[in-house]
Structure 1
Amino acid sequence: MDNRYHIFIVSDSLGETATHVAKAAMNQFLNKDYIVKKYNYVRDENAVEEIVMEASRHKSVVLFTTVLDEMRIKLISSCEQHNVTYHDILSPVLNQFAEFFADKPVGKPGTMYKLDDDYFERVAAIEFAVKYDDGKDLRGLKYADVVLLGISRTSKTPLSMYLSHKNVKVANVPLVPEIPVAKEIFQVPKNKLIGLTNSPDKLNEIRMERLKSLGLSSDVEYANMDRILQELDYAEKVYKQLGCPIINVANKAIEETASIILEITGLNMKLK
């Protein structure tokens, strides 16, 4: 039998408000063993009944935020019927504001989050960056807006994630001297390829810190200056072979490098 406390979060939108409230409250009860179950976009009375029935099988509290009256009424009646503790987070505030403004709330769920085309494109771009990070799946290169190439610690992943938040689909591929350049890279249009590089000293510094954070010895070849120079030389030859532009990220912030990439690829015009 599950003896943990169960916190059910129910919302007709994303449920972020109730989630933050629950976390803030639970931070005051650190010694309690609990599980959080979150249900968002609940706008059906049958779904409410199923959730409350599930809650009734455990030591539960149902926290909910809804601007839909029918959902609020159903949640309250179901919780009371099944003897489940509940708390309506939003209604007291809405009622007070309605009195304060002498007006009624619009009653539309999700008004904090505009789920428009731009939002969904951004989510798709972020998922794309995660899926095609670090050369995980080269089949995605043909669908990318930008393909970043570079040896280790040339900011490939941070740049991919930053650009994805601007709705740009980015894939990145590491370059390693011992591994031949994949044929898929040669099939990517040159106007989508960007070669990243860094100064030897900066790479040495970054890699030493990386090894330190992993608890590894600084004697590892990864941070050896001769190895770094070898990798840089290899990457330069690959870039020359591909005919792609090169950006040195040594003294540039992620935002600055991203801006250069958008300008080189012409994506800056599309984003305006």
Structure 2
Amino acid sequence: MSEFEDHEIQGASDDFNIFVISDGTGKTAFSVVQAALLQFELPRVNVLRFTHVRSEEEIYNIMDMVRVGKDIVVYTVVNEDLARVLRAEAANRSVIALDVLGPMVEALKRVSLRKPRGIPGILQREENVAERLEAIEYAMEKSTGFSVSNLDQADVVLLTVWYPHRDECILRLAEKSIKCGYVMLDPNLPLPINFEEVVGGSARALVVGIDMDPQYLSELRLERIKALGLYCLMEKASLERVKEELAFARGIYRRLRCPVIDITHLSVHDVVGKIFEYIKKKREEQA
């Protein structure tokens, strides 16, 4: 007998809701629902997500919205007390409810010596860790500043002259799972082959130009060169050299029509925040 045969179905319809309930992110249940919906043409079906559910009261309130004999509940609730309440409410109300994780967890309990941890959102957290490690690896190894060969893997591409806090900014983004590549702009160095075609035509990556006040950059470079004892590079800190490099970079920004962030006197935290604003805007435009 099907687990749904106990519930009375009032009539088939293409106009119903699927309630996704989770005490975590709900990503697993939502993915299952989306995979199933791909098998049907149901443009009027609404998928309603309720994530990070932590109390019985929340479950009661959600279940009050479910139409008996019409709507479906799909859930991943690893807290056994809450899962028990949800199952009881579904049974009492004769609501179709599908437990996505429960049967698998029960099977593992039967063959394993260990008990389930009952911690919501573990999968999402582990995926986030993997994404962060991948982004950090990309920042450390894949983006050289002088090639466009790996920029197709980047989420963000920074176009910039040399400034001392660039690497810190890139690693901060990597810690947030953002793969950040960069291209070093210098009028005395050749641009990578097909630079404008590759960077300007990138549909995946957000391209951002970095700009700043020449005097500010001159002082930053001078401070860093002295700290490292690299006095052979003192010419790089001259105001004339800095102005030349910034003028060259600004010309490229104009040709690419990319957003530009003036980082004069901004902290690394503030620069990363501004980049995130552009990322959010790009994702909203693509949605």
TM-score, reference length from structure 1: 0.53
Q: Distance in 1 between matches of 2:131 and 2:179?
A: 9
Q: Match of 1:214? A: 228
Q: Distance in 2 between matches of 1:236 and 1:244?
A: 10
Q: Match of 2:269? A: 255
Check the 8 A contact 1:131/1:137 in 2, yes or no.
no
> Shift in Å at residue 214 of structure 1?
2.6
Partner amino acid, structure 1, of 2:197? F
Q: 1:226 aligns with which of 240, 244, 254?
A: 240
Residue 201 of structure 1 pairs with residue 211 of structure 2: no
Check the 8 A contact 2:210/2:262 in 1, yes or no.
yes
Q: Match of 2:198? A: 187
Q: Match of 1:52? A: none
Q: Distance in 2 between matches of 1:219 and 1:116?
A: 44
Note closer, same or farther for the CA distance 1:128–1:216 as it changes in structure 2 (3 Å cut). closer
Check the 8 A contact 1:198/1:250 in 2, yes or no.
yes
Q: Distance in 1 between matches of 2:133 and 2:254?
A: 34
Aligned-residue RMSD, C-alpha: 2.8
Partner amino acid, structure 1, of 2:130? F
Q: Distance in 2 between matches of 1:163 and 1:224?
A: 30
Q: How many residues align?
A: 162
Q: 1:117 aligns with which of 115, 124, 127?
A: 127
Q: Unaligned regions of 5+ residues in structure 2, if any?
A: 1-113
Specify the SS of the correspondent of 2:149. Answer: helix
Q: Match of 1:56? A: none
1:5-36 CA distance string (max 9 Å, x none)? xxxxxxxxxxxxxxxxxxxxxxxxxxxxxxxx
Check the 8 A contact 1:198/1:248 in 2, yes or no.
yes
Q: Distance in 2 between matches of 1:178 and 1:130?
A: 25
Partner amino acid, structure 2, of 1:131? E
Q: Match of 1:266? A: 280
> Shift in Å at residue 269 of structure 1?
6.2
Q: Distance in 2 between matches of 1:106 and 1:185?
A: 56
1:97-129 CA distance string (max 9 Å, x none)? xxxxxxxx9798xxxx98711111111011111
Q: Unaligned regions of 5+ residues in structure 1, if any?
A: 1-104
> Shift in Å at residue 216 of structure 1?
3.7
Partner amino acid, structure 1, of 2:261? I
Q: 1:135 aligns with which of 141, 145, 161?
A: 145
Note closer, same or farther for the CA distance 1:267–1:142 as it changes in structure 2 (3 Å cut). farther
Q: Match of 1:20? A: none
Q: 1:238 aligns with which of 252, 257, 263?
A: 252
Residue 144 of structure 1 pairs with residue 154 of structure 2: yes
Q: Match of 1:33? A: none
Specify the SS of the correspondent of 1:195. Answer: strand
